[in-house]
Amino acid sequence: MANRRILIVDDDRKAVEMVRLYLERDGYKVLPAYDGPTALQLARSADPDLIILDLMLPGLSGLDICRLLRQESEVPIIILTARSAEDDKLLGLDLGADDYVTKPFSPRELLARVRTVLRRVGEKVDEPSEDVTFNSLTVSFRRHQALVDGRPVALTPSEFRLLATLVREPNRAFTRLQLLEKAFGDDFEGLERNVDVHVVSIRRKLGFGQDGPIKAVYGIGYRFEAG
């Protein structure tokens, strides 16, 4: 945690200061930004370890910032938004965000999400060395990459871990909680309710709908159907 830098981007200065107090109390160094252009400049020059990003910003939207950063960086991004509709959440995840928190929010919950995402990206997980292929989908554990018909798919780290968990044990039905425990270890606070949104995003990015290999298991969760 020492010297971890977190960029907070929100035009609500009171919200930034409230979050800043919680993060600094937990040992993080905080960089504030109150508009889109400043946020993008700091994201590029200050090399933060994580970005908390509001969507509605003056000068440049949070979605535009997320889109631009994902073309040049894998910095973890938590979207902070008043938009709670599933389509808005999916759009953020499609653009490469690792998680989202809806307003109004608890600073303690946001702090838990920050810890979770930072621990997750810092973990080194033993992965199979061989690529695994199911029809048009190839999952490369070594490269941490999914490909469809040989073309890389831009999954976020969270999405790849969920997909990899399903692929490692094909045809097994996982509960949402089991998926989170296997994908992220013990650091899954607040994420269980997001599994469905992540799965929809993974299906969309892979070009598979509900008829694809990631099947919903009624009353349980999900499984990866391997033929």
**pLDDT attached to residue 84:** 61
φ, ψ of residue 215 in degrees (nearest 5): -105, 140
Question: 61 and 145: one domain?
Answer: no
Q: What is the pLDDT, as a whole number, of residue 180?
A: 82
The structure tokens listed for 179 are: 């998926």
Number of neighbours of residue 199 by Cβ within 10 angstroms: 21
Q: What are the structure tokens assigned to 74, written together?
A: 């894998």
Which of 56, 88, 122 is at the close of a domain? 122
> How many structural domains compose the chain?
2
Assigned token pair, 59: 């000068």
Residue 94 belongs to domain with CATH number: 3.40.50.2300
Closest CA to 141 of 150, 151, 155, 130: 130
Those residues whose C-beta lies under 8 Å from the C-beta of residue 211, and which sit 6 or more positions away, are: none
61 plus 114 within the same structural domain:
yes
- Residue 127 is assigned to a structural domain of this protein: no
- Residue 145, number of CB atoms within 10 A of its CB: 15
Whether the pTM exceeds 0.85: the reply is no
Q: Is 55 within 8 Å of 92 (Cβ atoms)?
A: yes
The answer for residues whose C-beta is within 8 angstroms of residue 85's C-beta and 6 or more apart is none
**What's the domain range around 19?**
5-122
Smallest Cα–Cα separation from 100: which of 57, 35, 51?
51
Give the Cβ contact number of residue 123 at 10 Å.
11
Is 212 part of any domain? yes
pLDDT at residue 173, rounded to an integer? 92
Whether 11 and 33 have beta carbons less than 8 Å apart is answered as no
Domain identity same for 149 and 208? yes
Mark whether 105 and 11 lie in a shared domain.
yes
Integer Cα distance of 201 and 94 in angstroms:
6
**Per-residue pLDDT at 125:** 46
Same-domain pairing of 46 and 154 = no
pLDDT at 122: 63
CB neighbour burial string for 50-78, b if at least 16 within 10 angstroms, e if fewer:
bbbbbbbbeebebbebbebbbeeeebbbb
Instruction: Kindly report the backbone phi and psi dihedral angles of residue 129, in degrees, each rounded to the nearest multiple of 5, phi listed first.
Output: -80, -20
Mean pLDDT by runs of 10 across the 227 residues of the chain is 83 93 92 96 92 92 89 86 67 77 86 85 56 87 85 85 90 88 64 79 87 88 87
139 and 102 inside one domain: no
